[in-house]
Homo-oligomer: A and B are copies of this chain.
Amino acid sequence: MTDGGTGRYARVRAAVLGTGLIGGSVLLRLAEAGLDVVGWDPDPATRERARLRGVLAPATLEETVVGRDLIFLCGPLPTLPSTLARMVELTAPGCVLTDVGSTKVEVAEAADRLGLGDRFVPGHPMAGAESAGLTAASPTLLAGAAWVLCPAAVATGPFRWLTGLLVEVFGARVVPMSAPAHDSVAALASHVPHLLAGALAGATQRAPLRDAVLALAAGSFSDGTRVAGTPAERTANMLLANRDRVLHELAEVRVFLDGLADALRADDAASLVARYAEARAARSALLDRRFASRSRRFDIDGEQRAEVTWLRELGGAGGHLTECRVDPDTVSYTAWLPVAD
C-alpha cells in the first residue's frame, strides 16, 4: 500500500453496490484512499448512513453506476446474477466488474452466460466478522487481507489491473485461483468451519445444562462457536451456493473426527496423541509459514494462456501476489510462495 494509497489508481471512478459489512468496508477504504467512489444500497436508511459517514450515495442504481470504471458487487450471494444482468444494461464495455461473494463458481457461470466473462473478475476477500451491516464496516477491515481473484481463461487485462489496484489500495495479498479451485479450498477453509461452529452452538442451545455450559465457556468454546453468530441467512446462502464441495470436505473432516473418537473410545492414548500431533502440524504451518518471493514476467499479449496457468498454479500452491505492473510490452508480477515445512 503506497502512502495515501492512490498512486496510479488516483483517477479511477469506482462504485460499490451493497454497502453492508464487506461492501461498506470496501467503500470506506476507497474513499479514504482518495478515489472517486460512490455507494448504493437497496435500503434507503443504509444509503443515508453512508452519507453520514461522508461518502456519496445516490438514490438509484442507475445514477450510481453511470460513467464508472470499476464496480464492486457486494450484495448477498443470491442477488448477484440479477445485479450482473443489470450491469449489462447499465455499464459500458470498458467497465470492470468484480464481486466479494464467498463462493465463485455460481457467479462466474452467471457472468459467462451474460457475456461478461471478459470484464467480470470474480473476487473474494478473506476477511469478515460475525457482525453485519454498514455500522460494523471499517476502512481497515480488509487491510492486508488475502483476496482471491479468478483470472479468466484468456483475457487477463481486467485481472491484472484489478490486482494492482487491490494491492495498492488495500495492501491485499491477491490469491489467483480458478473459480472451482476457490470453491473447493473455501469449503475447507471457511464453509465447513461454519458447519462445525453451528453444530457446537446448536447442540449447546439444546443442552439441558446450557447455562452451565455457557458459564464455563472459555477459549475453545468461544472461538469454536464464533461464526455461529453470523446472520443465519448469510451462512445458509454461502453453504447452499457451494453445497457439493462443502459436503465432500465435511466428509473428510468426519473421517478424521471418527478416528479421534475411535481412539478415545478404545482408550488408545498413543493413537490420540499421534492424531493430535498431525492436527497440530496444520496449526503450526498456519502460524509459522515462511514465504519466498519470485518475480515473473510475461509478454503482454503473446503468453496469456501461460500467464493464467502460472497464476492458477501459484494460488493452488498457497501463494499470492503483492505486485502487478503492466508496461507497454510486458506484465510483471511479484509472487510469494510458502517454503516447504
Residues of A within 8 A of B (CB): 126-130, 145-146, 148, 175, 177, 181-182, 184-186, 188-190, 192-207, 209-233, 235-237, 239-240, 243, 246-247, 249-250, 252-257, 259-261, 264-265, 267, 269, 272-287, 289, 315-320, 338
- Chain B residue at smallest Cβ distance from A318: B211
Interface-central residue, A249, A286, A316, by most chain B CB under 10 Å: A286
Query: Which of B220, B226, B282 lies in contact with A220, CB distance below 8 A?
Result: B226
Tell whether, in the assembled complex, residue B239 and residue A282 are in contact, meaning their CB atoms are under 8 Å apart. Answer: no
- Chain B residue at smallest Cβ distance from A228: B279
Tell whether, in the assembled complex, residue A219 and residue B227 are in contact, meaning their CB atoms are under 8 Å apart. Answer: yes
- Chain B residue at smallest Cβ distance from A320: B215
Query: What are 11 of the A-B contact pairs (CB < 8 Å)?
Result: A126-B218, A127-B218, A198-B257, A205-B281, A211-B317, A223-B227, A228-B279, A235-B276, A236-B276, A239-B264, A250-B261
Q: A202-B275, A203-B256, A215-B318 are in contact. List 12 more A-B contacts (CB 8 A).
A: A175-B216, A182-B216, A184-B209, A190-B218, A193-B224, A205-B282, A206-B252, A210-B282, A210-B318, A215-B319, A232-B273, A237-B269
- Chain B residue at smallest Cβ distance from A187: B213
Tell whether, in the assembled complex, residue A175 and residue B215 are in contact, meaning their CB atoms are under 8 Å apart. Answer: yes
Tell whether, in the assembled complex, residue A200 and residue B211 are in contact, meaning their CB atoms are under 8 Å apart. Answer: no
Which residues of chain B have C-beta atoms less than 8 A from A204's C-beta? 188, 282
Query: Which of B218, B231, B283, B319 lies in contact with A146, CB distance below 8 A?
Result: B218
Which residues of chain B have C-beta atoms less than 8 A from A285's C-beta? 205, 210-211, 214
A contact patch SS: helix
Query: Which of B220, B247, B317 lies in contact with A190, CB distance below 8 A?
Result: B220
Query: Which of B219, B260, B338 lies in contact with A199, CB distance below 8 A?
Result: B260
Q: Could you tell me the distance between the alpha carbons of A219 and B222 in the complex, rounded to whole angstroms? A: 13
Tell whether, in the assembled complex, residue B192 and residue A213 are in contact, meaning their CB atoms are under 8 Å apart. Answer: no
Q: Could you tell me the distance between the alpha carbons of A319 and B190 in the complex, rounded to whole angstroms? A: 34
Query: Which of B214, B221, B240 lies in contact with A267, CB distance below 8 A?
Result: B240
Which residues of chain B have C-beta atoms less than 8 A from A146's C-beta? 215-216, 218
Tell whether, in the assembled complex, residue B202 and residue A279 are in contact, meaning their CB atoms are under 8 Å apart. Answer: yes
Query: Which of B196, B201, B287 lies in contact with A229, CB distance below 8 A?
Result: B287
Which residues of chain B have C-beta atoms less than 8 A from A249's C-beta? 203, 207
Interface-central residue, A185, A211, A212, A285, by most chain B CB under 10 Å: A212
Tell whether, in the assembled complex, residue B219 and residue A226 are in contact, meaning their CB atoms are under 8 Å apart. Answer: yes
Tell whether, in the assembled complex, residue B213 and residue A185 are in contact, meaning their CB atoms are under 8 Å apart. Answer: yes
- Chain B residue at smallest Cβ distance from A336: B215
Which residues of chain B have C-beta atoms less than 8 A from A265's C-beta? 243, 247
Q: Could you tell me the distance between the alpha carbons of A246 and B247 in the complex, rounded to whole angstroms? A: 25
